[in-house]
A and B are shown apart, each in its own frame.
Chain A
């Protein structure tokens, strides 16, 4: 499976420059509009969307129909994407925290707020990345649909995660950081269920073969 991870990392190295520019521009925008408190979230959300690039690249060369002939299983293919998602979230969280250090030093953001916002970003990124992976493998692996899948996944997951935050806030007297941790636990459980359902269905599914001749 490490081969698949390395392949994706090689694939995204070309996209890293673009994503770095987007993140820097958004952070600059937050700084200049006095919205510095959202800086920890920006790299996590943007960073996790790099996963979309890997789906697009795979789909362009019909990688899946090729790699299923190797000793790797369909399960390995999906798990490698989830591991890549986790890797991207971890790296982007670290970047978000590093970009927030000036705000921490100048007391414009507290350590607690940084933790809360990072947790919220992680929750949205984890859920949307999982949703995107499931939708991509279960509904087609088609290049032309991947952008729509990405937008839908992020909209649905942001709404869901914020909804769960609100719900927990209403039904409990947890502090915001505890709500974030609770949502993370619920989210991990939901993601694990989604992962196993996706793997199970995908193993039985025919590989998407677009435009093949007879």
Chain B
């Protein structure tokens, strides 16, 4: 079980308090009507799925209830950083 540092609660909390919410920093096509099928497929389905460092969202459902961003190494599962949504990826 991961120990996830919540930047809002400023505490390391167990993974069971969180819900995983997928890859971070995906942007919805800014002009939906103008986006073609390939752009929608990219936003909805295509994922980086890296073997290495991933930026991902978690929601602290059994804590502050807020979405956070986390950098994690997908090989060692070690968490490198966590930061608030809207902040730049460290």
Partners in one complex: no
Point out residues on A near B: beta carbons under 8 Å.
Answer: none
